[in-house]
Amino acid sequence: MPFSDYKTALVTGASAGMGEAIVERLCQEGITVHAVARRKEQLAALAERTGCIPHAVDVSDLSALTALCQDLQIDILVNNAGLSHPGSILDADENVIETQVDVNLRAVLHLCRLLVPGMVARDRGHVFNITSIAAIYNFGGNSVYHATKAGVHALSRQLRVDCYGKRVRITEICPGRVATDIFGNVSGDHEEARRRFIDGFELPQAKDIADCVAFALSAPVAVNIGNIEITPTLQVPGGLSTMRPGDRAE
C-alpha cells in the first residue's frame, strides 16, 4: 500500500530516539503525525522541525490518552513508548513493576482498544508495535521488561486474528541494541551509559528503525510484514547455561 493511502499517524515516545526518527520519516512522506510524549520542550522542537502535531501526554495516564484519541481517525499507530529498569523479579520493588506494566503493556492495550476499531471500520490501517529482542529471547536481568515486551509480542500476533478479514496490517519490530539514549534513561548517567553501551560498537541508528517502519508501510496492501528482528551485525542473542549443584552460590 503506498504512503498516499494513509493520511494520519500517532506515534508514542516521540520526543527522542526511535520515536523521534519515526515521526520525522512519516512527516517526510506527507503523513499528518500526532507525536505523543511527556517532554513538552522536545516535542515543541520536533513540531517546529517536522510539522508534526505535538501532544504532551503521559501514556500511563488513561484519562488523558482517552481524551486524546476521542476525535482522532488514525491510519498508522506506532506504539513505541517504553521504559526499562534492570534487575530480577526476585528483588524488584512495586514501582519497578507498576511503571513498566503501565507504559510498556497497558498503554499499548488501551491505544489498540481506542484506535484499532476505527481502522477495522474503515478497512484501512497499520499498527506497529516496537518491542525488543527481549520479547523473544531471555537474558540476564530486566525480568519485568522481558515480561511486558513478551506481552506485546503476543498481542501483535493476536491483533491479526482480531482484525481478520480487514485490511489492517500488524507489524512488530524487535530491535536489539540501538544507538539511543535508552541506556542512560535507565541508569540516569548518560555519559557512563554511552561509554558502556554505545561508544566503540557498530550499532543500528534510530533512523534504521524508522526505515523499517517505512519499508513495511510501503509494501502492497496484500503484504503484511508481521515481524522484523533488527540487531547489530556483531550482536547475537541467546545462550545456554548449565550449573552443577555444587556450583550454586549459598
**Residues with catalytic roles:** 145
C-alpha cell at 164: 481478520
Burial of 240 per CB tally in 10 Å (0-12, 13-18, 19+): exposed
For 175, phi and psi rounded to 5 degrees? Answer: -80, 145
Answer whether 206's CB lies under 8 Å from 151's CB.
Answer: no
Strand pairing class (53-56; 32-37): parallel
C-alpha cell at 213: 517502519
Strand pairing class (76-79; 53-56): unpaired
